[in-house]
Amino acid sequence: MAALKTLSPVQCPSWARLAAHAESWRSVHLRELLAQDRSRAAQFGAEACGVRLDYSRQRLGAMTLRLLANLAGERGLADWRAALFAGKPVNSSENRAAWHTALRAGALAPGEVQETLSRMKHLCAKARAQFRRVVNLGIGGSDLGPRLLADALGDGALDVRFVASADPRELERALEGAEPARTLFVVVSKSFTTPETLANAAAAKAWGGNNFFAVTENVDKAKAFGASEILPLWNWVGGRYSVWSAAGFAGACATGFENFESFLAGAQEIDAHFTATPLEKNLPVLLALVGVWNTNFLDCATHAVLPYAHALRLLPAYLQQLEMESNGKRTDREGRAVDYATAPVLWGAEGTPSQHSFHQLLHQGTRVVPADFIQASANALQRANLAAQADALALGSEDGQYPGNRPCNILTLEKVDARNLGRLIALYEHKVFVQGVIWNINSFDQPGVELGKQLARKNLSGGK
């Protein structure tokens, strides 16, 4: 495998060309672009694995895409992608792989992954048969992924709840009406030292809980705590990429294991698409390149995600960690301070309610906020609202009260089911990876998070 490139993107010839090219777009309005070219939606769109991307409302043209693709080539995207899928140590600061794609590789998955999935299937059936409530104790990636999965796809056969906060009130609410003998606690912590998670686990024991499963790399600590079943996490799986692993166990309990398998299969389809499809039709690559264009060349500092499906209401929170913990970095892979923007601030909410909350700012605020609209509902009112919001942002009004020219993507899924949710999350994972490659940053460590943990421990020990 060729040496992986760690050249700063600003030293790539295409970066300067893109900066010059961006100047020609300052005075171009989407209203004119869309009116003049009726085929724009077909030209600036792509579809694969049941997902359609319409990026015709972006302030770009064919030359923009060509230059962005050249930049990706100059940054060695193909080699970085190959290293990711081969399990090479792309997490260079920790000398680890980021091999989450192996978790959903089906028959090609490592033996330890297949064995763990088999155990998960057995334990999931056991949990759904023997318990009335499952309470997941975890934080960050040990909470957001399974929580999203359960909220989006839970079938109601089992009451599955989630506790992440150090505030005891969240655990109290999760246990209201529960019986200790019929309640299973799932403690998810790779190190089994996460203070918030262990505090909640100790409180669960004090409440009377005596049924504990653990998902961890630290088997000895989990055994000492009293876990009756221990499912593995491996050091090549980062927390925010771990929903595909045993960290997703509570989500699998909520949905049923067949749905969890479909969830993995959907992600595997996107993996295959990402590795084999030319850049100009590659969904994760297109999302990433458009994001780089908006962030680095059109000076957009934030990005909104607006799912028009109640089942996806927790997706923005999930993507906040995925994108901002991965690419919210100010030093590159060589330890150099960057002099260009990296991850934008990502935020959002379920589409229809958010129209009555912050869309005022999207339409008339002084800052341009690119948005991803996610269409995943057959409801006519939902679809009409989404189309209206996307057009209003792009076109604005002739009187200037609504300036328009505000870029957005529309991602369309036929429905929200396990396979499509797997496709959607994998799509965003690979988008984040591509942007990390272009920005020459490590998307798989989180030193800023670690600093906060160190200071918290110091405060708890009285400043020593």
Q: Give the residue, 458 or 71, on which the prediction is more confident.
A: 71
Give, for 374, the enclosing helix (H) or strand (E): strand 371-375
Domain(s) of CATH 3.40.50.10490: residues in the chain: 9-95+277-449, 100-263
Q: What integer is the mean pLDDT of 110-130? A: 98
Tell me which of 47, 122, 258, 453 is the catalytic residue: 453
* pTM for the full predicted model: 0.97
Tens of pLDDT, residue by residue over 264-300, are: 999 999 999 999 999 999 999 999 999 999 999 999 9
Tell me which of 23, 176, 356, 464 is the catalytic residue: 356
Confidence of residue 464 (pLDDT cuts 50, 70, 90): low
Superfamily of domain 100-263: Glucose-6-phosphate isomerase like protein; domain 1 (3.40.50.10490)
Q: What is the DSSP string of 198-243?
A: HHHHHHHHHHT---EEEEES-HHHHHHHT-SEEEE--TTS-GGG-T
Which residue reads 């309990």 in tokens? Answer: 253
Tens of pLDDT, residue by residue over 254-273, are: 999 999 999 999 999 999 99
Q: What integer is the mean pLDDT of 43-53? A: 98
205 is catalytic: no
Q: What integer is the mean pLDDT of 424-453? A: 93
For position 462, what pLDDT does the model report? 77
For residue 382, count other CB atoms closer than 10 A to its CB: 17
For residue 453, pLDDT beyond 80: no
CATH 3.40.50.10490 given to domain 9-95+277-449: yes
For position 215, what pLDDT does the model report? 98
| Beta-carbon contacts of residue 343 (< 8 Å; ≥ 6 apart) | 295, 323, 324, 326, 327, 328, 329, 435
For position 291, what pLDDT does the model report? 98
Tell me which of 325, 329, 430, 431 is the catalytic residue: 325
453 is catalytic: yes
For position 456, what pLDDT does the model report? 77
For position 459, what pLDDT does the model report? 84
Tens of pLDDT, residue by residue over 162-214, are: 999 999 999 999 999 999 999 999 999 999 999 999 999 999 999 999 999 99
Amino acid present at 62: A
221 is catalytic: no
